[in-house]
Amino acid sequence: MDETGSAPSPALHRGPGIGPLFLGFLTLGITGFGGVLPLARRMLVQRRQWLTADEFTELLGLCQFLPGGNIINMSVAVGMRFRGWRGALACVCGLILVPTAVVVGLGVLYSRFATNPYLAHAFAGLAAAAAGLLTSLALRTLAPLRRSPVALVIVLVTVVAIAVARLPLVPVMIGLAVLSIWLRPLDRPERAAASPSSPAARP
Amino acid sequence: VTALLSLAWVFLPLSLVAFGGGNTVLPDIQRQTVLVHHWTTAQQFTEMFALAQAAPGPNLMIVPLIGWHVAGLGGLVVTSLAKFGPSSVLAAAGVVVWERYKDRPWRRRVQAGVVPVTAGLVAASAVTITVATLAGPMTLWLSVPVVMVVALLATGTRVHPLLLLGGGALVGLLGYVL
């Protein structure tokens, strides 16, 4: 294997190669039903020990701060850390390869049998359950905000703008994010869900 | 080719604003797919979303599925690149600059400020998908309880999501057969 590596900035200590990175995330993509993140932690920290628990938490914080799925960003970050952009590419491809094949297979089945009334109703039931899962995710996301009134107002405005008025996402999101950041000091800082124990929030 | 371009045009920008994960952009994907481009009906969209949730791997596998549905293999490739490409490039750049700004107070304030918007967008996803579900072929006497029971079980217990999806499908089927 080549050792050019194009090291970005962090140290290439005990780093796994491109092949193991690809295989690790391939496995993760196959096994991760309904929420890959807990599994990712188990693989990266416990089983393969590519990251310490602290490194994992720090990278996760970065991934949550960036746009895109957390687990996708995590795979990019891990690949980048050990093997530069080639590593990142290997990790992302490994992660999405099997799920993409599976989802296309399901889609083919769906389009072939969607007119069958039995399957149509089974699909409708599946969809209702998926809506329930999403509702649960929304409730869990909202839970840490329940005691900060400003945040709840932002939540409400967001829901109305996106789900009721069906306004385009990009302008709504930018506008409300700026508003929310500007209004942040009105809520007590310790309620800030994403950043625990930060006494430094005084710009 | 026009279809591929519109797919790219829809999903490229969304990749860059999907703060807080894919579910935050789901309502806009639905709006563009159903209301703007008429690639699917609202019911079809919800069922494709459910299928994608039943697949392993990351969230929002509905995006490549839409690409496949609209334009076959080309659509699949274009939507995959559009969805995963820009945010991944940004993530890669983020890793490099991360160390430098880790402890700046403005970063924490921005992060905390984005949280309510993210939560609102996830809630909007739940509303959009639930409303579309209730308009589907299932009777409300079944679909409303399924949504509620699944939401409660997924919030309060550790039942596997795949089990809940399977249970929902079973209820839908039995509701038709019986």
Q: What ipTM was estimated for this complex? A: 0.81
The pLDDT, as a whole number, for residue A28 is 87
Cα B49 to Cα B43: distance, rounded to the nearest angstrom? 10
| Cβ of residue B164 closer than 8 Å to a chain A Cβ | yes
Give the model's confidence band at A5: pLDDT under 50 very low, under 70 low, under 90 confident, else very high.
Answer: very low
Ramachandran category for residue B57: left, alpha or beta (phi over 0 → left; psi -120 to 50 → alpha): left
pLDDT tens track for A83-110 = 888 999 999 999 999 999 998 998 888 8
Residue B24: closest CA among A141, A190, A194: A141
Give the model's confidence band at A203: pLDDT under 50 very low, under 70 low, under 90 confident, else very high.
Answer: very low
The pLDDT, as a whole number, for residue B138 is 82
Tokens representing residue B124 in the block: 């909007």
Cα B33 to Cα B42: distance, rounded to the nearest angstrom? 9
The pLDDT, as a whole number, for residue A2 is 41
Burial letters for A28-42: b for 16+ Cβ neighbours within 10 Å, e otherwise?
bbbebbbebbebbbe
Across A144-190, the runs of DSSP E, i.e. the strands, are none
The whole-angstrom distance between B122's CA and the closest CA on chain A is: 5
Residue A148: closest CA among B104, B115, B124: B115
Cα A178 to Cα A184: distance, rounded to the nearest angstrom? 10
**Which B residues, 133 through 162, put their C-beta within 8 Å of a C-beta on chain A?**
133, 136-138, 142-143, 146-155, 160-162
Q: What is the mean pLDDT of residues B125-149?
A: 87
The whole-angstrom distance between A92's CA and the closest CA on chain B is: 8
Whether pLDDT at B137 is above 90: no
Alpha helices in chain B (DSSP H): 2-17, 26-30, 42-54, 62-101, 105-134, 140-156, 161-177
End-to-end CA distance of chain A: 48
The whole-angstrom distance between B8's CA and the closest CA on chain A is: 16
The least confident of B2-16, B118-132, B144-158 is B118-132
| Cβ of residue A57 closer than 8 Å to a chain B Cβ | no
Give the predicted TM-score (pTM) of the model: 0.75
| Residue B120 near residue A158 (C-beta atoms within 8 A) | yes
Contact between chains at B150 and A133 (C-beta distance less than 8 A): yes
| Average pLDDT, rounded, for chain A | 80
**Interface probe, candidates B32, B65, B109, B143, chain A, greatest A C-beta count within 10 A:** B109
Q: Which residue type does A93 have?
A: C
Residue A136: closest CA among B154, B98, B18, B139: B154
Cα B166 to Cα A131: distance, rounded to the nearest angstrom? 13
Cα A41 to Cα A38: distance, rounded to the nearest angstrom? 5
**Least CB–CB distance from A159: residue in B65, B108, B124:** B124
Most confident of A33-42, B53-62, B68-77, B125-134: B68-77
Better-scored residue on pLDDT, A191 or B13: B13
Q: What is the mean pLDDT of residues B14-21?
A: 81
Structure letter (DSSP) for residue A195:
S
